[in-house]
Homo-oligomer: A and B are copies of this chain.
Amino acid sequence: MATDRDSVLEAAVGVLSRRPTAHLDEIARAAGISRATLHRLFPGRDALIGEVGMLALRRLAAALDASGVDEGDAHAALRRLIDAIVPDAMLCAYLTGESQLYDDEAVNDLWEAQMARLHALFLRGQQQGVFRIELSAAWLSEAFFDLLAGIGWAVQDGRLAPRDATFSLAELFLGGALRAPRPH
């Protein structure tokens, strides 16, 4: 049973990621609480979805902080970021997939702030000569997030072993993003 808000939000992601239009009954059941308690924790459906988005963005921001992407070697920072964020890949997948989140101003602001950090990381990496300059930093940012979301789905659906997640993401993305020949 999940009584605290974050536990409920994680349960909500598990349901909403698969069926974005799932009834609140179903979400409440998945969280092990009643619909009444769900309403006591979150005023309504919109609030719940918004809070899920904010949770995902807090996790993303925490991963960006923990991996120190804002300065230093871009290649190493990106590898640290991959290690840090892959456990929350499914949250990020929901973040990109749920277009309803774009209506939430608070979510949007925090989202753009984190994407700006990611964009800056790739731009710095290009200036450092480690990332390819034929591909725009904006595209690298977006593609990274797309693959991260893909990792989340593949793991959740059992098509990819959790053990292989970070490796698969890092090797595929860095293979296409790094300027230097692949180090072997």
- Residue numbers of A with Cβ under 8 A of B are 18-21, 97, 99-100, 132, 134-136, 138-140, 142-143, 145-147, 149-150, 153-154, 159-160, 164, 167-168, 171-178, 181-182
A167 to chain B: which residues have CB within 8 Å?
A: 134
- Asked whether, in the complex, the Cβ of B97 is within 8 Å of the Cβ of A171, the reply is no
* A177→B134 CA distance, assembly (Å): 18
A149 to chain B: which residues have CB within 8 Å?
A: 146
- Asked whether, in the complex, the Cβ of B168 is within 8 Å of the Cβ of A135, the reply is yes
A174 to chain B: which residues have CB within 8 Å?
A: 176
- Additional pairs, 5, CB under 8 Å, beyond known A136-B160, A172-B177, A176-B176: A21-B21, A21-B100, A97-B97, A143-B147, A143-B150
A-B contact pairs, 17 of them (CB 8 A): A20-B20, A20-B99, A134-B167, A135-B172, A136-B160, A136-B168, A138-B160, A139-B164, A140-B172, A143-B147, A145-B150, A146-B147, A171-B176, A172-B177, A173-B176, A175-B175, A181-B182
- Asked whether, in the complex, the Cβ of B135 is within 8 Å of the Cβ of A142, the reply is no
A140 nearest in chain B by CB position: B172
Q: Shortest Cβ distance from A157 into chain B, in angstroms? A: 9
A19 to chain B: which residues have CB within 8 Å?
A: 99-100
A182 to chain B: which residues have CB within 8 Å?
A: 181
A140 to chain B: which residues have CB within 8 Å?
A: 172
A20 to chain B: which residues have CB within 8 Å?
A: 20-21, 99
- Asked whether, in the complex, the Cβ of B18 is within 8 Å of the Cβ of A99, the reply is yes
A143 to chain B: which residues have CB within 8 Å?
A: 147, 150, 168, 172
- Asked whether, in the complex, the Cβ of A154 is within 8 Å of the Cβ of B172, the reply is no
A134 to chain B: which residues have CB within 8 Å?
A: 167, 171
Task: With a 10 A CB-CB cut-off, give which of A99, A143, A160, A164 has the most chain B CB atoms.
Answer: A143
